[in-house]
Structure 1
Amino acid sequence: MIHQPTFLFIGGTEIIFVLFIVVLVFGADKLPEIARGLAKGMRQIKDATNDIKHEISNSAKESNILDSEVTKNVKEELNKVKDNLEDFTGSLKRNE
């Protein structure tokens, strides 16, 4: 049985068909301009989300809500539990 790779539940033939329709509608000369516009929009969204993250972390630090030492210890403990769980599930998978 031939297994075709899928991307977001869309197969390769569907992607090619959609690209073909896009070329027919917009023309080959407009595709780079459309791609640049999409990339610029994605960059602006990424920058906006990074700004929001920085604002939240800065306001948390100013309000003493976020204690970096406490969060660091919690992250270390969570990583230890995660590693132990992976070791346990790994041994279970090997025993099957």
Structure 2
Amino acid sequence: MLGGFGGMEVLIILLVVLLFFGAKRIPELARGIGQGINEFQKASDEIKKEIEQGGKEGLSSESKEKEEVKNKEN
């Protein structure tokens, strides 16, 4: 089911969470966790874009350097 957890284990965990936080706070916690996951995904996407752009810039500068070497040889 969930990474090696059976149905009974998940049920026990949910009951403990319900007892510990109460029914009123669970939606707040879930909302906060969802927002945290969204922020993490946005940051991850931004980092991926920066890496890709850096790679493209690196390739374009490599091409320019190769052209300069060719021009100097001619």
TM-score range for the pair, normalised by the shorter chain length: 0.7 to 0.9
Report what 1:20 is aligned to. 15
1:7 offset after TM fit, Å?
1.4
TM-score norm. by structure 2 comes to 0.78
Q: Cα RMSD (Å) of the superposition? A: 1.0
SS at match of 1:64: helix
Residue 57 (structure 1) aligned with residue 52 (structure 2): yes
Residue 25 of structure 2 aligns with an amino acid whose one-letter code is: K
Report what 1:30 is aligned to. 25
For CA contacts below 8 A with separation 6 or more, give which structure has more relative contact order.
2
CA distance in 2, matches of 1:40, 1:33: 11
> When you count helix as a share of all residues, which structure comes out higher?
2
Note the residue ranges of structure 1 that are not aligned, 5 or more in a row.
1-5, 66-96
1:63 offset after TM fit, Å?
1.0
Report what 2:69 is aligned to. none
> When you count strand as a share of all residues, which structure comes out higher?
1
Count of residue pairs brought into register by the alignment: 60
TM-score norm. by structure 1 comes to 0.60
Report what 1:39 is aligned to. 34
Note the residue ranges of structure 2 that are not aligned, 5 or more in a row.
61-74
